[in-house]
Amino acid sequence: MRCRKARLCDAGEIHALMQPHVLQGLLLPRSLSYLCENIRDFTVIEDASGRVVASGALHFFDEDMAELQSLAVLSNCQGVGLGRTLVRALLREARRHRVWKVFSLTHAPDFFLRQGFVLTDIAQLPRKFMRDCITCPKLRHCHQTAVICDVFTARPSRPAQPGQEAEALSRPALASA
Ligand SMILES: CC(C)(COP(=O)(O)OP(=O)(O)OC[C@H]1O[C@@H](n2cnc3c(N)ncnc32)[C@H](O)[C@@H]1OP(=O)(O)O)[C@@H](O)C(=O)NCCC(=O)NCCS
């Protein structure tokens, strides 16, 4: 298995991978054109034959906050750590960009709690609410839970193996002037 940034040619496979979860109401639908336009947000895991078996996106939200979106693992590859690997890769990416907070709206909050996220309330994310939720057809019957993680202090419930998490978790020094 190899975890890497997505390429434009992965968009079709990511779309197909997400589709069963979209039909179950677990993920928001994303059109193929949306995926092409936003492919640089995505990280994928491919198996030995190069097939994309998991994908997820880090979508920058404002100067220091990003949203983890569209996390999907192929049904018959779930439960072997691919979701955890993706979240760690996306949090590493957030750290590289000096993003301080990563949030997600999810039907699987317990999974995120195991990765170092904590529960929050959409009221704590007013810009997300005003930008996306307010126009969402599911606004009145949304069953998603908001979770958030402080990128530089979050500790997953199962720590990475030595060498797995190369980057230091310390906060970057604030630029002085
Ligand atoms: C949720 C999902 C991404 C998890 O991926 P996965 O590869 O199966 O998860 P992992 O094997 O990496 O599991 C990591 C840990 O989380 C736990 N876990 C996995 N899915 C879980 C869930 N739905 N609820 C609670 N815990 C979960 C695992 O037991 C494991 O625990 P451990 O640390 O004790 O070993 C995957 O099941 C999926 O694609 N679901 C459908 C789409 C979806 O709901 N996406 C999330 C919303 S954005």
Which of 111, 117, 142, 161 for mutating ligand 1's site (highest number of atoms within 8 Å of CB)?
111
Nearest protein CA to atom 26 of ligand 1, as residue: 111
* pLDDT tier at 132, thresholds 50, 70, 90: confident
Q: Which value, in Å, is the radius of gyration of the alpha carbons in the chain?
A: 16
| Spans of all domains in the chain | 2-150
Fold that domain 2-150 belongs to in CATH: Aminopeptidase (3.40.630)
Q: Which residues line ligand 1 (CB under 6 A)?
A: 21, 26-27, 71-73, 78-84, 104, 106-108, 110-111, 114, 157-158
pLDDT of residue 156: 73
* pLDDT tier at 75, thresholds 50, 70, 90: very high
pLDDT digits (tens, 9 = 90+) for 41-55: 999 999 999 999 999
Nearest protein CA to atom 29 of ligand 1, as residue: 79
